[in-house]
Structure 1
Amino acid sequence: MKEANLSVRGFHVKGPAARTMLETIGETFLTGYAYAAEAREPAEAEERLEELPWQFRGFAYEGAGMGFAIRDGLPFGGRQVSRFLEGRARNHVYMVYVGIGWAMARLPRFRWAKASAAAADPLLRWLALDGYGFHQAYFYTDRYVRRQYQEPNFPWPAGGPARYASRVIDQGIGRAIWFVGGADPDVAADLIDAFDESRRADLYSGAGLAATYAGAADEAELRAFLRRGRNHLPQVAQGSVFAGAARFRAGLVTPHTTMASGLLCGVTPEQASDLADAARAEPFGTSDVPAYELWRRRIASGLAELRTAP
């Protein structure tokens, strides 16, 4: 649990309230991981997860996704994540896929095929790379955040494209930067703006997701973050939609979720969920652009249409 302590991580501490929120999130993630590691069956872990404080429960399901993916990747493991997603974890599917990426960051690459076997959805599988990027920025902050290291020719998923994999990893790094910056909008934006301009849109998207889902910032601070990210507002909004949709789908909408969604993407969490579902329901065809990126673009376009509607 000490690994979730901001001072141990060397992260910025904005104040006691934000520190407590961010550390509780980390501790809840680890609790979910432990429940998955200890469970005889996924249903056993599910029962314990449902007893955790509801506003943090999504992070516990993310940790459990990591735990079951680790078990799938080990010798004699298999189908733990798939069986987990057959229960109430299906309402947290985005978080579970992200947790698979955490497992990939901890397992040798020759174990990735087994650990990620449940990430079969050609659209959602990219979320595992968001989790991988978050892990790397959270635990190797100096290399991935302060020195802006970028993974070259990333080997997963099979068939790539590797260049796009690096972009999704950046979205996870951006999400982690919200934690590294202690939910302080200026510190987080300073960290993002130190990256090459070509990477900032994806980083701001991830930070917008974290600012909505994790929170630890008030209305004035979120407005400050919008000002700092003014050159990447469509990406901030798209990340916020993902967060609002994930919380709405799981029944975990908090007052902060509603406030942040309204500010960062201009819709309610329910509208965000509807928008994400509608953008996903349309066929993606055979474009060279990954379905995940087309999904993100459709969401950004849908938000723009909502803003201009009479």
Structure 2
Amino acid sequence: MTTLYRSLRVLTPAMSETKPSVRGFHGKTSASTDLLETVGRVFLTGRARAHDYMVHVGIGWAPARVPGFRWSAVTANVTDELVQWLVLDGYGFHQAYFHPDRYVRGQYRERRFPWPAGGPGWYVDRAIDQGIGRALWFVAGTDPAVAADLIDGFAPDRRADLYSGAGLAATYAGGVERHELELLWARAGEHRPLVAQAAAFAATARVRAGLAVPHNELATRVFCGMSVAEASEVSVRTRPSGPVGGDVPAYEVWRQRIADEFRASGRA
């Protein structure tokens, strides 16, 4: 994975391309804009071994920047069937972040995506939408009302994954006060279980990297009703340890297990 990660660095955009002002994203406050620029800069400069989830997300930028016939080459070393879907999440994030008029405002959806070869193909759109939802948080400039308005403009069957992505970004990247997180939570409505699930995923990534910070704690308190450490524990405990069988990917089984825990607790 390290060799693949280094080789993909040549495909990353210039630092200036990630700036919200360059991308034309909604500007809430100068502080939130500075935060988003910092997040983009840190993502591009790399996180290494402790950030293996984010490395998979980063690999998803490659299919967006190379010809289709090269996709199999740049994803050849992605062998973890559980988290391989993060590659598609990363692809969706890239497309919505760098092409918001088409993927966010135009709500464009891929007509054919040839990876992963083993399928199941029906989940490809779902995974890509989770990434688009994460990018929406940036496009909206961390403004929960703007983000929710954008999501609610999509077809109903896409909103759960979009809200999940936005919830993950809000938890991981921050940029908001408690009342703003509560607004996103309220607007998510029936999709709250997957917002809580996404927050637990974000908590796990932060805990694994040893980088849990106050805004992560605030978000998990609002979305999950628990601390970062407790939310991470839910994610770790429910992670599939082997094949799950059936046509539903283990990754989605994992997401639903987490969401079901929050449903059962009455939190979502």
Alignment partner of 1:93 is 2:52: yes
Q: Distance in 1 between the 2:202 and 2:43 partners?
A: 17
Q: Distance in 2 between the 1:90 and 1:29 partners?
A: 13
Which of residues 171, 178, 183 in structure 1 aligns to 2:142?
183
Deviates more, 1:250-259 or 1:265-274: 265-274
Q: Which amino acid aligns with 1:22?
A: L
> 1:106 aligns to what?
65
> 2:175 aligns to what?
216
Q: TM-score under structure 1 normalisation?
A: 0.78
Which of residues 10, 20, 23 in structure 1 aligns to 2:34?
20
Alignment partner of 1:250 is 2:217: no
Deviates more, 1:258-267 or 1:122-131: 258-267
> 1:10 aligns to what?
24
Q: Distance in 2 between the 1:25 and 1:155 partners?
A: 30
> 1:124 aligns to what?
83
Q: Structure 2: any 5+ residue segments left out of the alignment?
A: 1-14
SS of residue matched to 1:213: helix
Q: Per-residue CA shift, 1:250-308, capped at 9, x if unaligned?
A: 10000000110111122222122222122114444321111111010011112233448
Deviates more, 1:296-305 or 1:279-288: 279-288
Alignment partner of 1:205 is 2:167: no
Contact 1:3–1:9 under 8 Å retained in 2: yes
> 1:264 aligns to what?
223
> 2:43 aligns to what?
29
Q: Distance in 1 between the 2:148 and 2:73 partners?
A: 37
Identity %: 56
Q: Distance in 2 between the 1:153 and 1:279 partners?
A: 32
Q: Distance in 2 between the 1:305 and 1:245 partners?
A: 21
> 1:157 aligns to what?
116
Q: Distance in 1 between the 2:56 and 2:178 partners?
A: 30
Q: Distance in 1 between the 2:234 and 2:17 partners?
A: 36
Q: How does 1:223-242 map to 2 (within 5 A)?
A: 223-242=182-201
Contact 1:152–1:166 under 8 Å retained in 2: no
Q: Distance in 1 between the 2:238 and 2:51 partners?
A: 19
Q: Distance in 1 between the 2:197 and 2:37 partners?
A: 26
Higher relative contact order (CA 8 A, sep 6+): 2
Q: Distance in 2 between the 1:306 and 1:90 partners?
A: 34
Q: What is the CA RMSD across the aligned residues, in angstroms?
A: 1.4
Q: Which amino acid aligns with 2:126?
A: R
SS of residue matched to 2:248: coil
Q: Per-residue CA shift, 1:230-252, capped at 9, x if unaligned?
A: 12101111111110110011100
Q: How does 1:140-155 map to 2 (within 5 A)?
A: 140-155=99-114
The Cα shift of 1:161 comes to 2.1
Q: Distance in 1 between the 2:256 and 2:33 partners?
A: 34
Q: Which amino acid aligns with 1:204?
A: Y
Q: Distance in 1 between the 2:224 and 2:127 partners?
A: 20
Deviates more, 1:94-103 or 1:158-167: 158-167
Total equivalences in the alignment: 253
Contact 2:120–2:247 under 8 Å retained in 1: no
Q: Which amino acid aligns with 1:158?
A: A
- More helix as a share of residues: 1
Q: Distance in 1 between the 2:247 and 2:122 partners?
A: 12
Q: Which runs of 4+ in 1 moved over 6 A?
A: none
Deviates more, 1:20-29 or 1:119-128: 20-29
Q: Distance in 2 between the 1:223 and 1:91 partners?
A: 30
Q: Per-residue CA shift, 1:148-182, capped at 9, x if unaligned?
A: 00112321101222221011000000000000000
Contact 1:153–1:163 under 8 Å retained in 2: no
The Cα shift of 1:103 comes to 1.7
Contact 1:153–1:162 under 8 Å retained in 2: no
Q: Which amino acid aligns with 1:192?
A: I
Q: Which structure has the greater CA radius of gyration? A: 1
> 2:97 aligns to what?
138
Deviates more, 1:138-147 or 1:100-109: 100-109
Q: Per-residue CA shift, 1:14-51, capped at 9, x if unaligned?
A: 01110100011112223x1xxxxxxxxxxxxxxxxxxx
